[in-house]
Each structure stands twice: as structure tokens, then as C-alpha cells.
Amino acid sequence: MLADVPAKHKFVTADLPAGGDVIMYGVLVGRTSEPLQRGGLLSTRNLRHAAAPFHDRDAAPRWSAPSVSRWREKTFLGYQRSDGLVGTRNYWVVLPLVFCENRNLAVLKQAFEEELGFAAPQIYRRQVAEMVRLYREGKSDELRSVSFTESKAPAPAARVFRNVDGINS
């Protein structure tokens, strides 16, 4: 290395002239603003943004499936689907990178629970909504004597995906 390259920073792997293309993962990301030697630090001081023009693919990618014969008799902890295919358990982990995002994650979790059919019945929400309705309609006598029973609660929403067995926090 020609310079002290801090952790997670980039360095040049080949000599580059001023205006030389900087390619990362096969994509043009910038051009050098000065000549750089192999092992030198790439930074915002010596690199200017550049991008290749967008274009549609010229041809569909070609791919041949590899042989899976050596695994044909192997098993795993999955389940058999009705169409003969198999499935596995998947976990999604959503982590807030800053504390202030915790509330957004709670809202996101609630949305998934409600729309996918895992939410607990919103009994108190319906009771408050009923009392507000009676108040707005001027039915104060009914409001004073309102009685809520479990039987008024609608059935839980049907689950959207039969193979999803829950949402955890």
C-alpha cells in the first residue's frame, strides 16, 4: 500500500491516469481527477462521480442448471407442498439502525399482523368507536347504559398465506 488506507475505504489496484475509469463490481462509479498509483487511496479528493449510460440488455442471459444428482437422495428440515415441491422456514429480521426508528418498526409490524391475519382482535378499539358513534349521534342515554360483550367481536381475519405461521417481535 502506498498510503494508510483506513478500514472500509477503497484503494487502487492498478495505476490509473487522470480521467481514468474507476470500476467497482463491473460498474463504472467514477473517474480519477489526478493520476493514481497502484496501492493509493481512493477518496472524494481524487475521484469524481461518473456512470455508464443506461441501456437495455442486448440478449437474455444464458444459464445452464448444474447437476443436482449427488443431492437427489438427501433430505432436510422442510415440508412437502401439495404441488410436490418443498419449502423451508424463512425468517426476516428487521433492525432499526437508529433509536428513533423503533416506532416505525412497531407500525410496520402492526400493518403486517393486521393485513396477513395475525392481529389480535381490536376489542377495545371497537368499543371506543361505538361510544364515539353514540356520542356524535347525541344518544347520551344509550351511551350511559352501553354494554359490550365478546359476541360483538367479528371473527379474526383469514390468514393470507397458509404457510406463514406467525409474526414475532
Predicted confidence at residue 17, as pLDDT, reads 96
pLDDT, residue 155, reads 65
Beta-carbon-side half-sphere exposure of residue 89 (alpha carbons within 13 Å): 7
User: Which portions of the chain are predicted below pLDDT 70?
Assistant: 150-157, 163, 165, 169
Distance CA 65, CA 93 (A): 30
Which residues does 50 contact at the CB level (< 8 Å), separation at least 6? 21, 22, 28, 29, 30, 31
pLDDT digits (tens, 9 = 90+) for 57-78: 777 888 899 999 998 888 888 8
Smallest Cα–Cα separation from 31: which of 41, 20, 45?
A: 20
**What integer pLDDT is reported at residue 113 of this predicted model?**
87
CB 22 within 8 A of CB 41: no
- Cα 31 from chain centre: 32
Q: Say what the pLDDT of residue 150 is.
A: 59
Beta strands in the chain, from DSSP E residues, in sequence order: 10-11, 21-24, 27-32, 41-42, 47-49, 79-80, 86-87
Return d(Cα 169, Cα 164) in angstroms, integer.
15
